[in-house]
Copies of this chain bind each other. A is one copy, B any other.
Amino acid sequence: MKKSKDENTEGQILDAAKDVFQSKGMDGARMQEIADKAGINKAMLHYYYRSKQLLFEAVFKNAFSLLAPQLNTILNDDSSLEDKIKNFTMDYTTFMMKHPYLPNFIIQELNRNEDFILKLKENTGFPNLKKFKEKVADEINQGLIQPIDADQLFVNIIALNIFPFLGKPLIKAFTDKDEKAYKTFVEERKTEVSNFIINAIKKQ
């Protein structure tokens, strides 16, 4: 059975809570709205998750554990930097178009409570840049790419990929795009962004 989550109350609550927390944030979310969306009453939320805070943490960890594996494309496989960048840009953008609230939710709640990330770092599977740094050093030594700090490159890559989803309303307003034009714009970034990055770092 695939849909076991939808079949029990606990899973229905988590699904509903995900929707509400991701669109309204911790402070803006209402337990009543979560209950309504899950098709049960408020008392059940506390029966299963004890408090709003704990329910929120369950949703947040779930969201983060969905996002972290995406980073492994670029951090931990053995392909060339060029392939890493191409694959990551393609996969990440595709993934985000399916989960548009995710980046903003993560970013926002981490800014609201910076200690929260400490809990995440304790978990196994928290993204690690070691292998990526080695690869960058390696390709610089081989003369394949220009010298660049690996941290800076990493931030550039995720900035170019994540920002279009964080700043969607801003981008739509500045570039005068409606929803449809914005979708096309993001779709084009699947190749645009990797070309841009590769041009920036490749040896002339």
| A contact face: mostly helix, strand, loop, or mixed | helix
Cross-chain contact B200 with A196 (CB below 8 angstroms): yes
Indicate whether A78 reaches chain B with its CB closer than 8 angstroms: no
Q: Which segment of A49-57, A87-95, A184-192 sits at the interface? A: A184-192
Cross-chain contact A167 with B200 (CB below 8 angstroms): no
Please state the number of chain copies in the assembly.
Answer: 2
Measured between beta carbons, the chain B residues less than 8 angstroms from A107 are 104, 166-167, 170
Q: Which residue of B25, B151, B200 contacts A175 across the interface (Cβ within 8 Å)? A: B151
Report if A120 contacts B (CB, 8 A): yes
> 22 A-B pairs, CB-CB below 8 angstroms?
A25-B25, A107-B166, A107-B167, A108-B108, A110-B169, A111-B166, A111-B168, A117-B170, A126-B173, A127-B174, A129-B175, A152-B189, A154-B175, A155-B167, A155-B171, A156-B160, A156-B196, A158-B167, A159-B164, A162-B163, A196-B201, A197-B200
The 3 residue pairs across chains A and B that have the minimum distance between CB atoms: A159-B163, A27-B27, A200-B200
- In addition to A107-B166, A159-B163, A162-B163, 8 A-B residue pairs with Cβ atoms within 8 Å of each other are A27-B28, A106-B170, A110-B169, A111-B169, A114-B169, A127-B174, A152-B189, A158-B167
